[in-house]
Each structure stands twice: as C-alpha cells, then as structure tokens.
Chains A and B, each alone.
Chain A
C-alpha cells in the first residue's frame, strides 16, 4: 500500500511528472522564441505561471452554468493525466508492480483529460466556450479512431500482446519498431495524433487565442486554471514518453543509455515544437478530412505491411 502510494504521488507519479512537464514546457517556449529570432522566457517560467494562478489570483464562478461541474472538470483532467502517466511510466522505467501494463487501459485513461475540458467548457455557460467545445468534440472524434488503429498496428507488430512490458521487451531484444517501414509510417501518424491531442497548432482551433478569445478556457481563472495548466504540462511529458515506449525501444536505465533516453524524449518534443512553429491553424473541416481520409489511409497501409512482416 505504501509503495503504491509512493508510485502514484512521488516517483514516477504526480510530483515527478509535474516537474519534468514544466521543464519540457519551458523547452517548447524557448525553442519557439529562438525560431523567431528572440530570447525566450527564463527557465522557471512555467512554474511562476502555475504558482501565480494558484496562489495569487481569485477564482470567479460564472453566474449561469453549472458551478459544481465547472470546478470539478479540471480535477478530473489532472486525475486522468496522472493515472495514465503512472501506467505509462511504470513499464518505461522498468518498475515491476501489480499492474500488467495493459494498452487498452492506458488508451481509455488518456481520453479523460480531453473529455473533461469539453465538460468544463459546456458548463460555463458562455457561447464562445460552446463553440470551442463543439470544435474539441469534433477533433476528438477524428483523431481517436486513428490513434486506436495505431495501437492495433503496434499490437500486431509485437506478436499480439497488449502488455506494455512485453512490447518494450520485444523491441529491446530485437529491432525497435521504428526501424521498419511500417514503424516509420506509424511514427508519422502518431506524431500528428499527438499534435491534435495536445491542442497545438495546426490543430489548436478549440483554444484559438484571438479568434474566439481563448475558446474552451475563456471562463477559467485562478485555481481551476492552474489545474488545467498542470494537466497540460503532465500531458506534454507523458505522451512523448508513450511514443518512446511503443515505437522507440523504451529506456534502459544504466550507464550511457540514460543519455540516449533523454535525447530521444527531447527529440520527440522538438519535433512537436517545430511543427507547431511552422504551420498555420487549420479549420475544423480540414482537420477532420485530414484525419479521416489521409491518416487512416496511412495507418491501414502500415497495418497491412505489419501483417506481411515488414
């Protein structure tokens, strides 16, 4: 019982993920600034933002709309992100526990943050938030199917096992999945799914900043907004770690391999940031067509190649 609580709360649980997520968020802002020929914020900037929102600003509840659900939605988001994160990081850091690393459980837990943003936006009673929530729902419909098909591809390649420990073991005793043709196609598709899940440009139309004045988060202020920012930091860490686990050979925590693990994580985050800085925002219709037609086509080709053994 004590070790389980330690796993959930400290390492590799809530505290570890929050700190690393904040540092990766700083990395994203600094690379964005450098690409635009300017200096960026100092190192602890995401933590200053979080503590300012948590301790200094007051919380205002909207007059119309469901107040209880409005305050509960960010708590669900943090909870979902933390649970999914713990279940991803336990196999990745090779810690044995009672959990068997089920891929389906991780997939379902990862949908909780996105759905709780939608619930929070709809319970705030603001028409602009309703527009943002409808866009987020359409986006969820588009990328979830593709994400599920990527999981199917991974399950086929790892010899029909849904156990994350097993998937990492198969890669480390053989070739990492990204070294094969179907693996490269799956990697491309999963990077786009991550852009949509994290609401980064080109898929950030739910939280469009100037178009619908911050969209789904328009009514949040103070402590609930700090919780939402925290869930975003945690997601920004665990989703690239998930990609590392299913496609890029996991991590081995001894010697020089620690450096390789850090570099792999930073490379995936760098790819997300560079795509974010060089693209405009697309409309929701174009995003849906992109995921339903083109990305699904790529995934189906990758699954066929995986069945054929390539």
Chain B
C-alpha cells in the first residue's frame, strides 16, 4: 500500500447528498457524527462543499428532478471519490420504487462503491460498512 493511498484512507472527508427520502437515514448518518459514535478518530470530517469531499454519501430514492442534480454533484467532486449508497431506498429504491417519479436507484445514475442496506441502518451498521470500504481498497 503506497504512501498516497495510505494518506487517502487515513483522512476521508464526507459529503452528504439527501435524495427524496423519509429522512430517517439522514438522522442515522447524523448520529454517526455525534460524540457517541465519534467518526473523527478515524480522521473523517463532514465538509460543506463538494469540492473538498472524498466520500459521497447518498441516501433516499432519486426523483426525476433529483437526477440531473446528482449527476452535477458527482461531476463536481474531484476524483478519486468513493460513493456509498445508504439505506434500502439508496440501494434499490425501497418502498418508493414503483412510484411514477422514480428515476432509478443510485447505481443506475452514478457508479457506487459500497451499499449499506437497512431501513434505516443503525450507526453501527454504517460504521461497519465504511470500515469494509476502507479494507477493500
């Protein structure tokens, strides 16, 4: 493992994009950043601008109106960027999959590196998923 990928893994900056969701997964992602499940000890921070981000967390099903915005956000992120789809709605569309405004789960729009299912996934499950993502590459 070279010096560059070591530094990349030790300092991942997260950016959160919420699609058209019921917001429970948003609350669980916010839980991960509180002092109880402290993510800063792994070097992860939440940043406000997509240009500073290394990991794009997407949750929620993607609407027809959200689709061009998600593509725009993905193109604005400086590569290399990892994409994580969180929740049953992010992975497959969940209960919104048969609505008339549904524009496909996240992996039909942008390439995804990790899926974390659950409705909503507990913060421990989100942490386990991110650790698996770090171990893979």
In the complex, per-residue mask of B1-12: 1 if CB is within 8 Å of any chain A CB, else 0: 001110110110
Q: Are A42 and B35 in contact (CB under 8 A)?
A: no
The complex places the Cα of A102 from the Cα of B51 at a distance, in Å, of: 40
Q: Are A214 and B10 in contact (CB under 8 A)?
A: no
Q: How many residues of B contact A (CB 8 A)?
A: 23
B64 to chain A, nearest CB (A): 25
Q: Are B49 and A213 in contact (CB under 8 A)?
A: yes
A70 to chain B, nearest CB (A): 12
Q: Tell which of B41, B48, B51 touches A42, judged by Cβ atoms closer than 8 Å.
A: B41
Chain B residues 1-52 with CB under 8 Å of chain A are 3-5, 7-8, 10-11, 35-36, 38, 40-41, 43, 47-49, 51-52
Contacts of A29 in B (CB 8 A): 40
Residue of B at shortest CB range from A62? B51
Q: Are A41 and B43 in contact (CB under 8 A)?
A: yes
Q: Are B48 and A41 in contact (CB under 8 A)?
A: no
Q: Are A45 and B35 in contact (CB under 8 A)?
A: no
> A125 within 8 Å of B by Cβ?
no
The complex places the Cα of A169 from the Cα of B43 at a distance, in Å, of: 43
The complex places the Cα of A284 from the Cα of B104 at a distance, in Å, of: 44
Known: A37-B35, A58-B79. A214 touches B52 (CB 8 A): yes
Q: Are A40 and B40 in contact (CB under 8 A)?
A: yes
Chain A residues 133-177 with CB under 8 Å of chain B are none
Contacts of A214 in B (CB 8 A): 47-49, 52
In the complex, per-residue mask of A185-219: 1 if CB is within 8 Å of any chain B CB, else 0: 00000000000000000000000011001100111
> B99 within 8 Å of A by Cβ?
no
The complex places the Cα of A38 from the Cα of B37 at a distance, in Å, of: 9
Chain B residues 39-87 with CB under 8 Å of chain A are 40-41, 43, 47-49, 51-52, 54, 76, 78-80
The complex places the Cα of A37 from the Cα of B35 at a distance, in Å, of: 7
Q: Are A36 and B51 in contact (CB under 8 A)?
A: no
Residue of A at shortest CB range from B46? A209
Q: Are B51 and A55 in contact (CB under 8 A)?
A: no
The complex places the Cα of A189 from the Cα of B38 at a distance, in Å, of: 35
Known: A40-B41, A42-B41, A214-B49. A52 touches B78 (CB 8 A): no
A214 to chain B, nearest CB (A): 4
Contacts of B5 in A (CB 8 A): 56
Question: Which of the segments A12-20, A220-228, A243-251 contacts the partner chain?
Answer: A220-228
Q: Are A218 and B51 in contact (CB under 8 A)?
A: yes
> A57 within 8 Å of B by Cβ?
yes
The complex places the Cα of A36 from the Cα of B67 at a distance, in Å, of: 38
Q: Are A221 and B52 in contact (CB under 8 A)?
A: yes
Contacts of B79 in A (CB 8 A): 57-58
Known: A29-B40, A56-B80. A51 touches B7 (CB 8 A): yes
Nearest 8 A/B pairs, CB to CB:
A38-B35, A221-B51, A38-B38, A213-B48, A214-B49, A214-B48, A48-B11, A48-B10
